[in-house]
Structure 1
């Protein structure tokens, strides 16, 4: 059975990410971000959202485990910051119900949501420049980089929260990530 570990970056919705995977029948655990990388036994990792980049614990070490990674909100920003992309303050600020345009219909994580989808997202901070090797896969009128993917390294990020009820096709994001982890 595929095992996906959710890394708790102390976000308010982290327990919902864990539950969404569990509801899909995934063997999943919720672990604190100070857990040493060598203690993680997983076929995939979800880097949860959280309050700020100063409390990301061992998240940079998890990127070297050679398993697929899905970064959600702060998790996506961790991917960008650690892999030489750029993160900065958003123009919009707090949470919003946003229409996201899918830019790559072939993307294994979000391509199935094309041409667009409604999401619930926080834009206090956001990715301003994707790291080398990543493709910019979604955009909105609130945030230019709503999602990014590096298919060769199986690293994926979404600015929005697929785990909340306000996100229309959130379950599909988790199903697609599960399929990536199983391939």
Structure 2
């Protein structure tokens, strides 16, 4: 079975994403965000756009959204999705990393199995201000209206928080759900 690619956008937690997938016995490979889209398309069954410092350093990340593969964006990956699809990102009011209580509005495929409220670990230095056309809002918090978004028809999902860190209880569920989405997408 083809691996899931974790796209390294120079974020401090990208290796934790890879480690969590390995611990879940999900085939995974870390790739540079400069990898040509045609090499990504034939080499994996799904893409996780990892976090990073700035939209200026996303490489080919936006181009990977057009490959017809499931995509999960984490933090900067979410911002990449939003900006490249007609949404917008702005500086958050809460800044650095910390615990955030998130209200799940839509228990779709990526958030299946979670309760209506969860506590997560997130940075809000930047956040999605405007959800792109055709996307739905999946979750919000008191400090950020767009904690998670999705284009369910295209299997593209984005989260502001970091499920891979130990400070996010039951974060593994997001990656298990994404693995299931990738498996189902590959068999359709």
TM superposition score normalised by structure 1: 0.97
| Equivalent-residue separation in structure 2 for 1:127 and 1:169 (angstroms) | 24
Q: Which residue of 1 aligns with 2:126?
A: 125
| Equivalent-residue separation in structure 2 for 1:158 and 1:112 (angstroms) | 16
The question of whether the paired residues in 2 share the 8 Å contact of 1:148 and 1:157 is answered with yes
| Equivalent-residue separation in structure 1 for 2:100 and 2:170 (angstroms) | 13
Q: Which residue of 2 aligns with 1:23?
A: 23
Structure 1 segment 88-99 matched on structure 2, within 5 A:
88-99=90-101
Deviation of residue 75 (structure 1)? Answer: 0.1
Q: Which residue of 1 aligns with 2:175?
A: 174
Q: 2:52 aligns with which of 50, 53, 61?
A: 50
Q: Deviations over 1:1-47 (max 9, x none)?
A: 25200000000000000111111111110011011111121110000
TM superposition score normalised by structure 2: 0.94
Q: Which residue of 2 aligns with 1:67?
A: 69
Runs (4+) of structure 1 exceeding 3 A deviation are none
The question of whether the paired residues in 1 share the 8 Å contact of 2:112 and 2:177 is answered with no
The gaps in structure 2 that reach 5 residues or longer are none
SS in 2 for 1:157: strand
Q: Which residue of 2 aligns with 1:38?
A: 38
The gaps in structure 1 that reach 5 residues or longer are none
Q: Please report the RMSD computed on the Cα atoms of aligned residues, expressed in angstroms.
A: 0.9
| Equivalent-residue separation in structure 1 for 2:79 and 2:90 (angstroms) | 9
Deviation of residue 111 (structure 1)? Answer: 3.5
Q: Which residue of 2 aligns with 1:77?
A: 79
How many residue pairs align between the two structures? 182
| Equivalent-residue separation in structure 2 for 1:121 and 1:146 (angstroms) | 9
